[in-house]
């Protein structure tokens, strides 16, 4: 949701200086990175305090690393927390109807414009959801708030569209770099998922923001994934084949999780339950699963750091994986706020260890290292759910420092991404947008296409005539060379078709008939709300050089004309402008 709230503005001279110097964007990016690191540290700290207070944990302990929890708290806290969150959603809907816009949607459709107030609300909802134990990650909240602040900073300086989009990417890069202690992964998260591609113009600001976010968050807490691997030597063809197989399995599992969230949401919607009760039910279900294993709660940071889980029996790890997947599906499907980033890493790590154990059972001579395949599995599953194969590869590289292992990881994430795109077509974020009616599959800037509507392109100085006018009278009123075409309407003012002047003056036309016999495109019209791509598609289908623009509805009142040549020219001009912005020529 975009608001019309007043944004703070930088002084005019400072705005002009920033817009005139490309290096000024780097300083704004450094500021954004610093803020992003603080956001990560602050949100993580608040959630930790909530866990300590609500679940009676020792200070500094992680919720998902506990061996057991007080049964009453394990069930009541997420249940009541879900109920309160649902009530907050209802109250918020009256104050702010609509929904908030995430960084991917903002960059794809709105030129990087985000609501700061809305971003704060989403961050608070995510903090509460994770704080009461729902199986969701904080990464969505990190990126939402960091990008929202960056977007507000960009608007304060009246940045150009391309620079505004880069600022949103800088916020996301800082958040991910700080959350995972991985500046390269943070930068490529911005390139792949938030900006929609790498450009020379975006390299410096995004890189600076990621490094700043990493150092600021790192100064508060050293964040690692908690998986260590021994030195990996040469990677053989056998290793790549096994990693590719794991990538296929990870893609199928990732698709199942994303479909499962939608299915859960649909089933709960069909029950007719009051929305706050749906969220309470989700919390109750997670609480029951937590009685079996607390590792299902919250994002899973603590569980991934729990060293003992590596040596747990095969059946126990399989049970944790299944329960964690179910908890994540129920949490998001019932209405809790958050993401699947770290949950996917945790489930992928468990799945990789199970895969290694299963291969050793079927083929004892393989002797697969469970830690190695935990890293490959977490990267492959995250690539399927979150998208961004290079992002996940760099997370593996920066977490382990092992370049040879990253080779196998890269093969696995490529296969996982390819299978997911072929069978499903979306990441989790773009899938949620698809369910709301959007068609975007990435953060690539398509918003300018939607902004370029028929209403902005059409000519309004059209001439209308009655469709019953005799051709002899029409010839007198519109001699050859006076116009190209006029719009014909019926007696009620409804659009009837286009009358071509040249055709009316043809020698074989009956001069005593009305215009109805020579009217073109009576059933093919454009509407003012159509974007330029939709208009060009109509031109192609009708094989028309010009079409009338009519108001939507039964009145069919003509309001303008648009030619195919003008539409194509404007589309080409705007496409060239976007291309020049991307490569930094403007």
Distance CA 349, CA 346 (A): 5
Q: In this structure, which topology does domain 237-435 adopt according to CATH?
A: Clc chloride channel (1.10.3080)
For the residues 14-43, what does the mean pLDDT come to? 87
Comparing 64 with 530, which gets the higher pLDDT? 530
Instruction: Cite the residue boundaries of each domain of the chain with CATH code 1.10.3080.10.
Output: 12-223, 237-435
Q: Where are the alpha helices (DSSP H) in 272-402?
A: 275-292, 301-305, 314-334, 341-362, 370-386, 389-400
Tokens of 314: 């095969």
Band the pLDDT of 570: cuts 50, 70, 90: confident
Query: pLDDT at position 5, please?
Result: 45
Indicate the range of 59-63, 83-87, 151-155 predicted with least confidence: 59-63
Please count the other Cβ atoms lying within 10 Å of the Cβ belonging to residue 540.
10
Q: Name the average pLDDT for the chain.
A: 86
Query: Quick check: 577 pLDDT over 50?
Result: yes
Query: pLDDT at position 291, please?
Result: 93
Band the pLDDT of 432: cuts 50, 70, 90: confident
Instruction: Cite the residue boundaries of each domain of the chain with CATH code 3.10.580.10.
Output: 450-580
Question: Containing H/E element for 241?
Answer: helix 237-270
* Class for the domain spanning 12-223: mainly alpha
Query: Quick check: 309 pLDDT over 60?
Result: no
Question: Containing H/E element for 71?
Answer: helix 71-95
Tokens of 152: 């507000």
pLDDT tens string 233-276: 556 677 889 999 999 999 999 999 999 999 999 999 899 899 99
pLDDT tens string 179-191: 988 999 999 999 9
Comparing 19 with 149, which gets the higher pLDDT? 149
Distance CA 355, CA 245 (A): 10
Comparing 380 with 232, which gets the higher pLDDT? 380
Indicate the range of 78-82, 205-209, 473-477, 561-565 predicted with least confidence: 473-477
Query: pLDDT at position 511, please?
Result: 67
* pTM assigned to the model: 0.82
Q: Helix (H) and strand (E) counts for the chain?
A: 24, 5
Query: Quick check: 62 pLDDT over 90?
Result: no
pLDDT tens string 312-323: 677 888 898 999
Query: pLDDT at position 4, please?
Result: 45
Give the Å distances, CA to CA, from 461 to 444, 458, 487, 502, 530.
36, 9, 11, 20, 20
With a pLDDT cut of 90, the percent of the chain lying above it is: 41
Query: pLDDT at position 236, please?
Result: 66
For the residues 100-123, what does the mean pLDDT come to? 88
Query: Quick check: 142 pLDDT over 90?
Result: yes
Query: pLDDT at position 582, please?
Result: 62
For the residues 199-218, what does the mean pLDDT come to? 92
For the residues 202-222, what does the mean pLDDT come to? 91
Query: pLDDT at position 531, please?
Result: 87
Query: pLDDT at position 3, please?
Result: 46
For the residues 515-523, what does the mean pLDDT come to? 83
Comparing 517 with 213, which gets the higher pLDDT? 213
For the residues 339-345, what does the mean pLDDT come to? 89
Comparing 146 with 304, which gets the higher pLDDT? 146
Comparing 480 with 306, which gets the higher pLDDT? 480
Q: Report the sign of the C-alpha dihedral through residues 359, 364, 368, 371, in that order.
A: positive
Give the Å distances, CA to CA, from 562 to 453, 454, 455.
11, 8, 9
With a pLDDT cut of 70, the percent of the chain lying above it is: 90
Instruction: Tell me the CATH number of domain 450-580, given options 3.30.70.120, 2.40.420.20, 3.10.580.10, 3.40.50.800.
Output: 3.10.580.10
pLDDT tens string 382-400: 999 998 899 999 998 888 8
For the residues 450-471, what does the mean pLDDT come to? 86
């Amino acid at each position: 949701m975009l608001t019309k709230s007043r944004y703070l503005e930088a002084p005019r001279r400072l705005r002009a200086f920033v817009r005139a110097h490309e290096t000024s964007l780097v300083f704004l990016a450094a500021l954004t990175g610093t803020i992003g690191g603080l956001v990560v540290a602050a949100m993580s700290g608040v959630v930790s305090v909530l866990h300590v207070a609500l679940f009676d944990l020792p200070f500094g302990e992680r919720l998902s690393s506990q061996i057991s929890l007080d049964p009453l708290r394990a069930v009541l806290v997420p249940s009541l927390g879900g109920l309160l969150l649902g009530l907050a959603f209802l109250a918020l809907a009256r104050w702010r109807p609509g929904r908030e816009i995430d960084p991917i949607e903002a960059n794809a459709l709105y030129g990087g414009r985000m609501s700061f107030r809305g971003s704060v609300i989403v961050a608070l909802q995510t903090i509460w959801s994770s704080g009461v134990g729902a199986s969701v990650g904080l990464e969505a909240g990190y990126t939402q708030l960091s990008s929202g602040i960056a977007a507000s900073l960009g608007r304060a300086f009246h940045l150009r569209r391309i620079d505004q989009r880069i600022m949103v990417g800088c916020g996301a890069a800082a958040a991910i770099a700080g959350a995972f202690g991985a500046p390269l992964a943070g930068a490529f998260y911005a390139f792949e998922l938030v900006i929609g591609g790498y450009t020379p113009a975006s390299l410096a600001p995004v890189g600076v923001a990621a490094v700043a976010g990493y150092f600021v968050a790192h100064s508060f807490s050293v964040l690692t994934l908690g998986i260590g691997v021994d030195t990996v030597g040469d990677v053989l063809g056998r290793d790549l084949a096994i990693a590719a197989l794991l990538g296929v399995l990870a893609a199928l599992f990732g698709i199942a999780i994303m479909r499962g969230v939608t299915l859960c949401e649909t089933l709960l919607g069909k029950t007719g339950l009051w929305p706050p009760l749906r969220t309470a039910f989700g919390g109750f279900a997670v609480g029951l699963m937590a009685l079996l294993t607390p590792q299902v709660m919250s994002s899973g940071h603590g569980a991934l750091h729990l060293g003992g889980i590596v040596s747990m029996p095969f059946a126990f790890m399989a049970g944790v994986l299944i329960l964690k997947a179910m908890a994540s599906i129920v949490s998001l499907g019932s209405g809790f706020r958050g993401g699947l980033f770290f949950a996917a890493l945790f489930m992928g790590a468990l799945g990789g260890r199970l895969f290694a154990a299963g291969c050793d059972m079927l083929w004892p001579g393989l002797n697969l290292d469970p830690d190695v395949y935990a890293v490959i599995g977490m990267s492959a599953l995250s690539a399927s759910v979150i998208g961004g194969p290079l992002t996940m590869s760099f997370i593996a590289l920066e977490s382990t420092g092992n370049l040879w292992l990253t080779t196998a990881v890269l093969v696995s994430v490529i296969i996982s991404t390819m299978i997911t795109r072929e069978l499903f077509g979306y990441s989790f974020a773009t899938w949620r947008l698809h369910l709301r009616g959007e068609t975007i599959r990435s953060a690539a800037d398509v918003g300018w296409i939607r902004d370029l509507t028929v209403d902005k392109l059409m000519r309004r100085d059209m001439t209308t005539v009655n469709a019953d006018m005799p051709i002899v009278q029409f010839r007198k009123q519109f001699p050859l060379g006076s116009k190209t075409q006029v719009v014909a309407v019926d007696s009620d003012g409804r659009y009837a078709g286009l009358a071509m002047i040249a055709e009316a003056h043809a020698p074989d036309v009956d001069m005593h008939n009305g215009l109805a016999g020579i009217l073109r495109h009576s059933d093919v019209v454009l509407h003012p709300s159509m974007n330029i791509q939709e208009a060009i598609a109509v031109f192609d289908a009708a094989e028309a050089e010009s079409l009338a623009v009519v108001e939507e509805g039964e009145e069919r009142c003509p309001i303008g004309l648009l030619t195919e040549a003008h539409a194509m020219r404007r589309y080409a001009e705007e496409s060239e402008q976007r291309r020049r912005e991307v490569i930094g020529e403007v």
